[in-house]
Amino acid sequence: MALSHDENLIGDTSKSKQLRKQAYLLFYRMISMEKSPGYLLRWEVLADVCKVYGKEKSGKVTTLAWSKHSTAIEASLSSIKSLLTEELDAGLKGDLKGSEIQLRRLNHFLHVSSDAASFFMAGDDFVDALITCYKLMNPPLRKVLVTTTYLCIIGLTEGPKPKFSSLVDQLYSLSAAAEAHKKGPTSVNDSLVAELVTVTPLLKQIQQRIDASGSVSNRAKSVITTLQGFRKPGGSGRPPRFIKKKELHHKPHSSHADLVPHSTPPQLPARRNVFDDDEFDQLAVDASRLHFGRRNPDQTADDILQDRSNAPNKAAILSALAAFDSDDDERDDTYDVADVGGTVDSINPEERNLENNSSQNTHDEALFRAYKSSPDIFARDQTTRRSKERAAIRQETGMTDEALEGWAVMLSRDPRQMRRLETRFATFKGEQTRLESTAWKAVEGEEDGNGNGDRGRGGRLRGQGRGRGGGRGGRGSGNVAGTSGDKETDVARQRKEANKSSRANHNRRDGRAKKMARGGFPGSCG
């Protein structure tokens, strides 16, 4: 109707009131006819009447229209219902702006006519379309969707015969939709049901009207309690309360005449950081470089390992190795404070690494033999993970299923590691690694006080350097503490002096050998 769109006529003047009254009476009389004009029964005209005349007067007209021309009105509403359902389900591909305008106009009709609300709540297609379209980030459209849903549901409780049974069914559908949305990946702010029960007094009004009707049921109480659980924290269910500002004095200067003047506070310093004037700050960055989250969310670890485009260049590695000089002189660390008093280990570093990695070697042997016997043990599926063979190798090594499968994948991609394991374990017969003694030993045949001397007369040994004699009938051993002038005593003292010099020289050699071993040069003992 023209009245609903002409702002100049909707005023408080006597002419506009008279015009509105005459138009209302004319429309009411035409609707009362058995054969009313078809264009007056369209939903657009009825919605404009409801907008202009309010709920009380428009309710009489719409009730009369439904009682006499329900078929024509339902046909008009059916077309707009199908169109809105299709557009809302289409999402971004649909005409969202046009749907918003039509819903705003339709809400006036739904607010007045409970029959129209019941018609739109018949079936689940329209409500499902409202819930689906609410997930789009469109604040004006979201507000209209919440209003439409509220008017349709609350309309089931109005009229001469409220439809409480259909109301409870619709509440159960809303509860199921909210529960499914809660389990999904989207935010609670994208749920129409959560927003509906938070910003509108829907549940409170339904509870009051059910109690007033006397048809209280446990089913209705249960679904209302369930929907209250979807209320968002901090929601009050009421519109914000506006506080009226205090009226200002008509002469502001007179009320502030006695105030002491004060200086103006200094301006706040400008906020600056390290990102000022960069390409993002200047909005000069290429839009193709911007992305939210991961650049490629479908890429897996296997895809990254198979992509060799970013792998190190072999030529660069070889050139770096060529620039390395392994013959550089060792830095003199004789007077390093960190090494003073430290324990010196002269064992070959390679042998020491073998000892430190004995547990890993044990695991490698068990894993390698299992891999050679049956590579399917390391397959990535649930059946293999629950097999007895996988349980046995998992218990033997103490490794998880992911670690076992990763070991097999890395082994299959590294032929060098495969050859090393085959060389190490293919011919293993159970021998242990022999560790050579690092203690100094005298050269065989060298004279020493502790060595065996020549055999004496009668087949007996000559005495040893220290301690008791070698046996009866032989010549006694020399003693440095014997009588001066004795031949054997002089020989013993002479041997002692000779041994002192040899042992001191040996100690110097030992010191150098330990130092070289600590620097990582095995086999340097002289």
Contacts 24+ apart (CB under 8 A), 145-149: 145/103, 145/192, 146/192, 146/195, 146/196, 146/199, 146/200, 147/103, 147/107, 148/103, 148/106, 148/107, 148/110, 149/192, 149/196
Please check the confidence at residue 444 and state whether its pLDDT lies above 60. Answer: no
- Statement to judge: residues 17 and 150 lie in one domain: yes
Tally of domains within the chain: 3
Q: Are residues 6 and 153 in the same domain?
A: yes
**375 alpha carbon, distance to own chain's centre:** 33
> Final residue of a domain: which of 161, 176, 198?
161
Residues 305, 413: Cα–Cα separation, whole Å:
10
Residues 382 and 517 in one domain: no
Single-letter amino acid, residue 95: D
Higher pLDDT, 347 or 372: 372
Whether residues 54 and 155 fall in one domain: yes
| Residues 153, 7 share a domain | yes
Can you tell me the mean pLDDT for 229-245? 64
Using the 3D structure, point to which of 127, 161, 195 is the last residue of a domain: 161
Minimal CA–CA distance to 40: which of 30, 52, 51?
30
pLDDT band at 147 (very low <50, low <70, confident <90, very high): very high
Residues 32 and 104 grouped into a single domain: yes
- Of 124, 143, 161, the last residue of a domain is 161
* 9 and 95 both lie in a single domain: yes
- pLDDT exceeds 80 at position 135: yes
Mean pLDDT, rounded, for 120-139: 87
Residue 133 covered by a domain = yes
Same domain, 19 and 128: yes
Give 351-402 pLDDT, tens digit per residue.
555 555 555 666 788 888 888 888 888 888 888 888 988 898 888 888 898 9
Helix (H) / strand (E) containing 299: none
The rounded percent of the chain whose pLDDT value lies above 90 is 3
Q: Is residue 87 one of the residues assigned to a domain?
A: yes
Q: Which residue has the higher pLDDT, 153 or 234?
A: 153
476 band by pLDDT with thresholds 50, 70 and 90? very low
Mean pLDDT, the chain, rounded, equals 77
Q: What is the DSSP string of 386-408?
A: TSHHHHHHHHHH---HHHHHHHH
Mean pLDDT for the stretch of residues 209-236? 81
Does 228 map to a domain? no
Predicted local distance difference test score (pLDDT) of residue 431: 56
What residues contact 131, with CB distance under 8 A and at least 6 apart?
A: 177, 192, 193
Q: What share of the chain is helix, strand, coil (3-state, %, to 5)?
A: 60, 0, 40
Range among 111-115, 241-245, 305-309, 343-347 with highest mean pLDDT value: 111-115
3-state secondary structure of 461: strand
Whether 47 and 156 map to the same domain: the answer is: yes
CB 153 within 8 A of CB 121: yes
Domain assignment of residue 226, yes or no = no
User: Which range has the worst mean pLDDT, 148-162, 180-194, 352-366, 500-514?
Assistant: 352-366
| 491 in the same domain as 398 | no
To the nearest whole percent, how much of the chain has pLDDT over 70? 72
pLDDT band of residue 453 (cuts 50, 70, 90) is: very low
The residue ranking higher by pLDDT, 476 or 103, is 103
For residue 350, the model assigns a pLDDT of 54
Predicted confidence band at 12 (pLDDT cuts at 50, 70, 90)?
low
Domain contains 468:
no
Co-location of 512 and 369 in the same domain: no
pLDDT tens-digit series, residues 258-289 = 566 777 888 888 878 888 888 888 888 888 88
Q: What was the pLDDT predicted at 455?
A: 46
pTM above 0.85, yes or no: no
- 170-194 per-position pLDDT tens digit: 888 888 888 888 888 778 888 888 8
Q: Residue 201: exposed, middle, or buried by beta-carbon count in 10 A (0-12, 13-18, 19+)? A: middle
Shared domain for 56 and 130, answered yes or no, is yes
pLDDT reading at 460 higher than 60: no
**How far is the C-alpha of 151 from the C-alpha of 122, rounded, in Å?**
14
Report if residue 20 sits inside a domain.
Answer: yes
Range of the domain at 523: 486-526
- Is residue 235 domain-resident? no
CB 462 within 8 A of CB 477: yes
Q: What is the DSSP string of 114-130?
A: HHHHHHHHSSSHHHHHH
- Average of per-residue pLDDT across 200-206: 88
Asked, for residue 137, whether it belongs to a domain, the answer is: yes
Question: Residue 117 above 60 pLDDT?
Answer: yes
Q: How far apart are CA 52 and CA 10, in angstroms?
A: 8
pLDDT of amino acid 349: 54
pLDDT value of position 101: 92
In the structure encoding, which two tokens stand for residue 286, read together? 């290429």
Inter-residue contact 117 to 156 (CB < 8 Å): yes
